[in-house]
Structure 1
Amino acid sequence: MLILDAIDAGYGAVQVLRGLTLSVAPGEVLCVMGRNGAGKSTMLRAIMGQVPATKGRITLDGARIDGLPAHEVPRHGIGYVPQGRRLFGDLTVAENIEIGLMTRGRDARVRDTVLDLFPRLRERMDQVSRTLSGGEQQMLAIARALCLEPKVLLLDEPTEGLQPSMIALIRDTVVALKATGVATILVEQRVDAALSVGDRIAFMVAGQVAETVSAKGLHPHAAHFATYVGV
Structure 2
Amino acid sequence: MLKLDQISTGYGPIQVLFDFSLEVRAGEVLCLMGRNGAGKSTAMKAIMGLLPLSGGQISLGGTPISTLPAHEVPRQGIGYIPQGRRLFTEMTVAENIQIGLMTRGKGAKTRERVLDMFPRLRERLDQRAETLSGGEQQMLATARALCLEPRVLLLDEPTEGLQPSMIQLIRETVEKMREAGVAIILVEQRIEAVLQIADRVAFIENGHGREVVDTEQLRGDRRLFEKYVGV
TM range (shorter): over 0.9
Shift of 1:220: 8.7
Aligned to 2:95: 95
Q: Distance in 2 between matches of 1:68 and 1:96?
A: 24
* 1:1-60 C-alpha deviation (Å, 9 max, x unpaired): 000000000111111000100100111000000000100000000000000111111000
Map of 2:27 onto structure 1: 27
Distance 1:82 1:195, change over 3 A: same
What is the CA deviation profile of residues 63-114 of structure 1, one whole-angstrom value per residue up to 9, with x for unaligned ones?
1000110001000110001100000001110000000000000001001111
Q: After the TM superposition, which residues 206-217 of structure 1 pair with which residues of structure 2 at under 5 Å, given as runs?
A: 206-217=206-217
Bigger mean CA deviation after superposition, 71-80 or 219-228: 219-228
Residues 57-76 of structure 1: matches in 2 within 5 Å? Answer: 57-76=57-76
* Cα distance per residue 1:172-206 (max 9 Å; x no partner): 11011111111100011111111111000001001
Output aligned runs, 1:1-231, within 5 Å: 1-219=1-219, 222-230=222-230
User: How many Å separate the matches in 2 of 1:41 and 1:77?
Assistant: 19
User: Structure 2 counterpart of 1:10, which letter?
Assistant: G
State the Cα distance separating 1:119 from its structure 2 match. 1.0
Q: Distance in 1 between matches of 2:215 and 2:122?
A: 34
| Equivalent pair of 1:191/1:220 in contact (CA under 8 Å) | no
User: Measured at CA, do residues 93 and 220 of structure 1 come closer, stay the same or move farther in structure 2, by a change above 3 Å?
Assistant: farther
* Bigger mean CA deviation after superposition, 220-229 or 200-209: 220-229
Contact 1:156 1:186 in 2 (8 A): yes
Following the alignment from structure 2 to structure 1, what is the Cα–Cα distance between the partners of residues 110 and 56? 35
CA distance in 2, matches of 1:21, 1:14: 19
Aligned residues: 231
- Flag the 1:220–1:188 CA change in 2: closer, same or farther, 3 A: farther
Q: Which amino acid aligns with 1:64?
A: P
CA distance in 1, matches of 2:221, 2:108: 45
Residue 218 of structure 1: how far off its partner (Å) = 2.4
The TM-score normalised by the length of structure 1 is 0.98
Do the aligned partners of 1:192 and 1:220 also contact (CA within 8 Å) in 2? Answer: no
Q: Structure 2 unaligned runs (5+)?
A: none
Specify every segment of 5 or more residues in structure 1 that has no aligned partner in the other structure, as ranges. Answer: none
Q: Secondary structure at the match of 1:216?
A: helix
Measure the CA separation in 2 of the matches of 1:207 and 1:170.
28
1:128-177 CA distance string (max 9 Å, x none)? 11111000000000100000011000000000000111111101110111
Q: Which amino acid aligns with 1:122?
A: R
Q: In 1, distance between residues paired with 2:116 and 2:100? A: 16
| Residues in 1 aligned to 2:16 and 2:206: alpha-carbon distance in whole angstroms | 7
Aligned-residue Cα RMSD (Å) equals 1.1
Q: In 1, distance between residues paired with 2:111 and 2:151?
A: 16
